[in-house]
Amino acid sequence: MGYMLKVLDFSATWCPPCQAMVPVIEELKEELQDKVIFEEIDVDENRGEAQEFTIMGVPTFVLMKDGEELDRKTGRVTKEEFKAWVEKYLR
């Protein structure tokens, strides 16, 4: 079975809210591993990709399905909010 959803996690090592999201993302990776793939993208190392997605601030999470952007969230969010946001698109 292929992954239905992909979350692009645009962040930076110097960004405190990004670092605060790391344990949240790690937990969600485990909980949603059969349904969602998470891809971490460091905006400093991947400027082209950050520009392609018009990333204005970090952390920004872009929800993708079949190569199409469904939605995005910017900033720190709770695990519950993040999970509810992703699960909305799993139906």
State the catalytic residues: 15, 18
Res 3: pLDDT: 55
Residue 58 pLDDT: 97
Q: What predicted TM-score, i.e. pTM, was given to this entire model?
A: 0.93
Pairing type for strands 5-11 and 36-42 reads: parallel
Across the chain, which has 91 residues, the per-10-residue mean pLDDT values are 81 97 97 94 97 97 95 97 95 77
pLDDT of residue 61: 98
- pLDDT recorded at residue 57: 96
Domains and CATH numbers, the chain: 5-87 (3.40.30.10)
**pLDDT value, residue 1:** 42
Q: How far apart are CA 73 and CA 75, in angstroms?
A: 7
